[in-house]
Amino acid sequence: MRQPTNAGTTGGGPDCPDTPTGRADTAPGGRTEARPPLDREPYQSLVKAVLAWDEPDAALPPDDCEQIALQLAGHAHAVADAVRHLADHLPEDSPTRTLTEHVLAQANKQLSAPRKRTVYCLQAHARLVRDLYERLDRLEQPHPPSGPGPSSADPGVVAPARLNQGE
């Protein structure tokens, strides 16, 4: 008899109980870190399709709305977990961390609210998944080194050695 698995759920699998999707990376030093969901493309396609609907509630039965909302909400939880994991590594006084914590608080508020069986509710969940992926992408971008003085990685700052190049 085949046993049910937890793969792809927010509860993790038996081998990786603390990861949002049941998959993990082993970092240097043997530390286990959660990875973002690997099934990003199907959910981004679903988000795009849901946001493209322009006749709310007319085209989709309430039961279908409920099932899609459950899928989007489950995926939003998994992406939020990945965002939270990255935000936890930011300095406490970082503006990026403050913004990320605000985004996560709003996500938690929306995900804890009772779901309505409407296209409008689906679109709110789709926007949430989109916003969480945008935050995840920003957190995964390499950051310029911090320290005193202008950074050569900052395109808005001209280094003093470059001022006299045109003369």
**Given a cut of 60, is residue 136 above it in pLDDT?**
yes
pLDDT at 32 over 70: no
Residue 115 has what pLDDT?
Answer: 87
- Domain ranges for the chain, please list them: 35-141
CA nearest to 88, candidates 106, 101, 74, 102 = 101
The pLDDT assigned to 55 comes to: 74
Predicted confidence (pLDDT) at residue 113 exceeds the cutoff of 80 = yes
d(CA 159, CA 19): 43
Q: CA-to-CA distance for 50 and 124, rounded, in angstroms?
A: 9
- Structure tokens given for 109: 């508020």
Tens digit of pLDDT for each residue in 47-101? 999 999 887 656 788 899 999 999 999 999 999 999 999 999 999 999 999 999 9
pLDDT 10s digits, 142-163: 765 554 444 444 333 333 344 3
57-71 pLDDT per residue, tens: 567 888 999 999 999
Contacts of 108 (CB under 8 A, 6+ apart): 80
On whether the CB atoms of residues 10 and 77 are closer than 8 A, the answer is yes
